[in-house]
Amino acid sequence: MRCRIRWNIIVYVGLTAFALILFVFNVGYKSIEAQFITISPQISIAIEQNPKKLWNRVETSLNQLSGFSDIQCDAILSGNSEAAEKAKQWYFPFQDASKIWNEIEESYDQCQTLKEFFVFPELPFTVEEAEYPLAYGALVHKDITQVTYLLSSIYRPNNVYAFVVDGKASIDFKRRINILSDCLPNVYVQHTTVVRWCGYEIVRSVFNTVRLLAGLKQQWKYFQYLSGVDLPLKTNLEMTRIFKTLNGAFISEISEFQNRRLFNISATSPLPLFKSSLSATFSRESADYMISSAMVSNLLSYLKNTKCPDESIWTTIAGNPDLLPLPGGFNASALLTRRKKEIKEGHNSFTDPEITRPNNNTFIPTQYYISRYQVWKPSPNCKGKYVASSCVFGVDDLPILISRPELVVHKLYFDYQPATYFCLLRQHWQRSLNIELQQKFNADSYQNLAQVKAVNGEPLDKIRFYYK
């Protein structure tokens, strides 16, 4: 009898606890409208069920910026010159951003207030995205509002994000980026020493993000390095399908290393050196391998003897398969020879046309490097202005930007034609939340990238770098 009473008490307590958990879950997530998709008898995945409601939050977030609601983004994206000229007269209301952050910091519930001003989806939009988490890393030091909008645009609860904060960042910036980490459990923030332009601290900081992310239990699939002045050109689902198409390939720029970058000619590099952009895209397997490799560690030490070592890391690591068999790597020497041949033959000497997207569901790469869309002086493909020889895109660039096949655009400034940034951001959210149309997206054209063909075993004479 005593055992039966004890058993009844245990059952009662258990049921009560279960009911309490359900209650807390419902109260804590009352704003989430989820659909649970069963993918196996043991696993169900909750996905976003009300994209229209989320879109309303996006519009509210953007329209809190004084004057932005008067900008005709759709007309600008369609090439309307009158709407574009009007948009150029809009200035980013820095005073609004300051008030927003003051309100967040002074709030009793900082996280709730943060999420009232900026949109951070609480559920994946599709099962496909939920099953393919992504990782992002960035070195940042200023413009916390722009960094937060960038994070918002790529944020999903199943992805992971690592920021390294430059030691020269302001106290306000450091304090506010910590709020992002406090409120979003998949956002990690590290603080480092002062980072000099072209200094080795950049290499150290970038590798710290890779080490941090590779050390997580979260089995993310692909990593993308970002700058604080980037914005995505692809939605999360499009990124997912593109990365699947890459088939593990390491995507980095492949250029010749200039010996004038060496400070100590007598020292010998452990690997043949190649030049590349700091923006690169690679798999979890590549990340796991490089952070545990003694050869990579030796290379990083050697790069202290070079100028702008951040421009010599990725392709040097990925492009020496005989000495460093990195998963997804390629023979950079052979590919560079092939690329030079195409350049000599003039295959790269064309002005990028506006790229059409049949049925709005595909993009066609024009060249092999898709991690970042960046235009260098004196290219005619910049309708904004040049800063340090790199294009800061303007309003007139928008019709081209929305059709570019690259993953992100670099660079956009809040103090130069900011309507460029916010119209692109608005269009990004529109496409992301048109889930039915997004399902039609086809990433097959990315199979033609040189690095992908190399990973898939294509002979060198079948590999191309430029696609007119």
With a cut of 90, say whether residue 355 has pLDDT above it. no
pLDDT tens-digit readout, 402-416:
999 999 999 999 999
What is the edge-to-edge ordering of all strands in the sheet holding 160-165? 187-191, 160-165, 134-140, 222-227, 281-283
Q: Determine the pLDDT at residue 35.
A: 59
Q: Give 263's pLDDT tier (boundaries 50, 70, 90).
A: confident
Cα dist from 377 to 94, 386, 389, 404, whole Å: 29, 7, 5, 19
Length of the chain in terms of residues written:
468
pLDDT at 37: 58
pLDDT above 50: residue 248: yes
Whole-number mean pLDDT of the chain?
A: 89
Kind and range of the H or E run holding 408: strand 408-410
Q: Could you state, in order of their start, the residue ranges of all structural domains in the chain?
A: 2-45, 46-462
Residue 36: pLDDT band with limits 50, 70, 90 = low
pLDDT tens for each residue of 87-129:
999 999 999 999 999 999 999 999 999 999 999 999 999 999 9
Confidence of residue 11 (pLDDT cuts 50, 70, 90): very low
Q: Is the pLDDT confidence value at 434 over 50?
A: yes
Lowest mean pLDDT among 34-48, 306-320, 421-435: 34-48
Phi-psi domain of 296 (left: phi exceeds 0; alpha: psi -120 through 50; beta: other): alpha
Confidence of residue 43 (pLDDT cuts 50, 70, 90): low
pTM: 0.89
For 113-196, strand residue ranges (E) read 134-140, 160-165, 187-191
For residue 49, the model assigns a pLDDT of: 79
* pLDDT attached to residue 352: 55
Token pair of 426 as six digits: 């608005």
Q: Return the bridge partners of 161, or none.
A: 136, 187
Tokens of 293: 């490799």
Q: Does residue 8 have a pLDDT over 80?
A: no
